[in-house]
Amino acid sequence: MDNAFLSQANFKNIEKVNLFLDQLTSTFEAQGLKSLDYCPYCGLKETDGTRNVKGAVLHVHEACVDAFINKVSTHLETEGKSKEHLIQSIVLAMVGGVIGLIPSIILLVFTGIYSAWLFMLIPLAAFYGFKKGGAQKGSYVMILIAIISLILAPGFMFYVYYSDAMYYNVLFSDYLAVDGIRAAFIKDMTFSVLFTLISLGVSWKQIYKQTLGQIKKDIEALKK
């Protein structure tokens, strides 16, 4: 839709809804915009159907909707199978994940502690790196981001304890043989995995809506 603008407002208070709509209407009128009274796909009036697009009921031409669905479906069918720039995107996703780990490293270096909450930056940074690579963002992207995140976060904790063992010039196995250290290692590794899973859950919606999977879902919603 190149000739329409959709806006949503999520308010429970009806007074706030009315105030928001009044302000929005005034702003649009000042810009020369008006309520949509034509098909957003072709710009012509005398529509013959309606569609609910992300909560907004639009008057459309059924033929325009069918043509749009066929066009996007064909694009998804061809582009979704494309492997162009895939290796580059995977590499940049790994680089992005490492960059997302940097705040945790900085905090550890300067304070001697780490925050598992910072692990939430890893999947978002990894996905940003993947996008920069230019590959198609298929449904598999979430699996890739999850794998990268679940390698980097626990790997970082492992490196911390391994570095401590090297600092004290003892074998890593002997270092973990100390009861207190072994218990702390197990706890930190568990928390790193747990918080990484939480971060993946939190960022899933933000990442998924930028993938081909979300586009397919939107197209299915257009069909009657």
pLDDT digits (tens, 9 = 90+) for 89-106: 999 999 999 999 999 888
The pairs formed by 161-170 with CB atoms below 8 angstroms and a separation of 24 or more are 161/185, 161/188
| CA proximity to 102, closest of 118, 79, 78 | 118
- Res 32 pLDDT > 70: no
Stronger pLDDT, 92 or 200, i.e. the higher one: 92
> What is the number of alpha carbons within 13 Å of residue 196 lying toward its C-beta?
26
pLDDT for 209 = 78
22, two tokens: 């009044």
- Whether pLDDT at 202 is above 90: no
Query: Global pTM?
Result: 0.65
Per-residue model confidence (pLDDT) at position 89:
92
| Integer Cα distance of 215 and 74 in angstroms | 12
Q: pLDDT tens-digit profile of 42-68?
A: 888 888 888 877 667 778 888 988 888
